[in-house]
A = this chain, B = another copy of it.
Amino acid sequence: MILDESGLEDLAVGAAMLGSGGGGDPYVGKLMAREALRAHGPVELVGLDDLDDDELVVAAGMMGAPGVMVEKIPNGDEVVRAVRSLGAYLGAPVKAVMSGEVGGLNSMIPVYAAARLGLPLVDADGTGRAFPEIHLSTYTIHGISATPLAMADEHGDTVIVDAVDNRRAETLARGITVDMGAVALVAAYPATAAELREAVVPGTIGRAREIGAAIRSAPRRDAPPVETAREAVGGTSVFEGKVVEVERRTERGFSTGHASLVGVDGYAGMRLRLDFQNEFLGARLDDAFVVTTPDLITALDPEDGTPIPAEALRYGARVAVIAIPCPAIWRSAAGLTLAGPRAFGYDVEYSPVEEGPASRH
């Protein structure tokens, strides 16, 4: 399968749908990926089964506060340097790149890196959504080490982190990201194709592209764009309303805060609160949780059904909110311990979104 410029927009939209409002605003990444595809030709999209067992794959992406990334556009050399440094450190050639998480920017950076490096892109990601911290991944659940990982910044600095576990990798890499200027380009989770086959969520890149295509190509007379988008991702309607408050701060390399919405149409008189730490993590309808992590929360533009990253939510904007079931692995005991509501400080049991509000259980 080939990924070229024509599929890039669909991938950007679909990946942002699956990124739970995070993984970085795709806009900057899309510009970078398009430029690289034009200069270096299309990228081959491969399954892990297409790779030899011992071929080395690394995840390429951005770490830090998404808002800063919009202001400080990477020149692209950073991620190439990160991947090359990691390969050199490991003393082994990198044979393919992949997304550590599906999400706006972090689905575009690997396309860019693959094009620049002349490597295939693996049709999979290591999270099945986006999460704000490195160790919150299906790699971690399956015992794949995030390190050695390589980080690079716009100044030309490179850092290699070799941590004892993935939580320490997150702590160290987060601090380094802050000192790199709140944004770093990262190559992480080096592993062989054989190790990755059971450890990652397969097919998410292809699926994201299909979701994007479905949203783009649906005739508007058949259904409202939000309905088309919701159906394309198998999601549930949560709310429709207007943003009346956004509180957002950039701290320790995260963009953290919440947005409050007042309902319109069927939701008139109700109020929704969306919490985010880069990604949307919980939605409360009139103070009761209706969706929590690890299920996905996506804000959509009612005009065209495209996703609005948490970073781009603005006062006064009209927004539809949908929820999407997370990959099954996140509903395991290990998955919920790692990234369930309590892992983010919510004193509530996880309830799968398709079974109704968490707060009723």
Contact = CB atoms under 8 A, between A and B. Distances in A.
A176 interface: yes
A175 B179 CA distance: 7
A172 interface: yes
A158 B168 contact: no
A144 interface: no
Given A175-B176, A176-B172, A176-B176, A159 B157 contact: no
Contacts of A180: 172
Interface in A127-183: 155-164, 168, 171-172, 174-176, 178-180
Nearest to A81: B162
A223 B159 CA distance: 53
Contacts of A171: 179
B168 A163 contact: no
Contact of A175 (B89, B162, B164, B178): B178
A254 to B, nearest CB: 15
Nearest to A172: B179
Contacts of A159: 159-162, 172, 176
Given A159-B159, A159-B162, 12 more contacts: A157-B162, A157-B168, A158-B162, A158-B163, A159-B160, A160-B160, A160-B162, A172-B176, A172-B180, A175-B175, A175-B176, A175-B179
Interface of A: 85, 89, 155-164, 168, 171-172, 174-176, 178-180
